Structure 1
């Protein structure tokens, strides 16, 4: 499966410029936002979601979830893929702990419904405590914010498909499509991570404002790319319709095209 890439530098630069110029608009509109929702498009193994009140639940396939202020923990050989109402796809691998510090979204109207672009403005802030997370944000609005916080710094996600891993070896950041901005802890230095690129940053090198190791995508296990592909697929599995009177969006599952290619026995077909 091919990972969609939109390597148009002009478009990327416009997105970044618009985000910088209009970034204040997101904060000023935050009070008009409500909790965004997500749909679990694939669930496997032991997974726990803990909400802001520390209540734990086991998510099921196609559950609609409120991620704002929630923590997701996965066990061995477990994973969960999510389609978010702002168009982002999220994949969480095994033995991972991910805190969704903020996921809020401005309500949108029926006229704004779309699979091609984010219909609203949103703020997504994720803290990767441990493990692996994939993020696909190909259709994110330039007015929206999507960030992943790591022990070694902060990652700002523009229009991208990426894998982020955190372990005792440091943070491994891989861009399969698009552009990411990595900010070191002192916030005085940053790295632009452009497809196809992967880099590892240890806590020690992060304090120095340096990349520990850069590598090509061919040097990574094939499973990493497959995880990115699965997350990209998850981002397209759900269509979010506008909620009534400012209520949360309503998810509608989209059937895979391969479903319609299956041979179906018809009662009006007879053997000659």
Structure 2
């Protein structure tokens, strides 16, 4: 498979990105997270409410996953599956651009988004999935396999080489998505941390900073710290086998995007 790193939402004046993956398989395309979608850009006040004023996204149509797929010479209609780290509005905005796709999400996250509390109504925007996606709910965390020390990891049905890794804390059903590529693994860690500096073993105090980034529930805040610590250990012990990155680290995105594959001749002709 070929993996393209996409920025589907520049925020906070360029300090923050929405790092998504486009996986180009022999027979289909798969998205990991979607960033902002076309409806977010066309009607931000209706779809995003006041949420978009928090992160100040540029809302550029060219940054949508749909537009970037077309720019690569690929067909958006070939997106068969979308895999979400979680359902925050800056990760799920593009769902409506691919209404035919299967949408894989953790079952806890789905329940939280469908029945949001007071704070949940800010992060979860039901307008983004009012079209009624074809939800595929995962039981990651229950049974499953072990993966580099992480338990309860589930390979996604029909998507060999992709697995959902429980990384609870930012939200109740937040997960990472592991992708088996030639020569090792990629782990999209979603919002499990904010910057790669938090995983630096020489700066252990920064792990605690992640406690403030996510759901205000104190139990989830404690989980965030534990999750970040486990990811730091993963990088230290298996950094030669697993490339770990998060959704909003602009520097990490830039480094990985430099190695994006060039469009195939077949895609250009299409």
Please state which band the TM-score falls in when normalised by the shorter chain. Answer: under 0.3
In terms of fraction of residues, the more helix-rich structure is 2
Q: TM-score, normalised by structure 2?
A: 0.26
Q: TM-score, normalised by structure 1?
A: 0.26
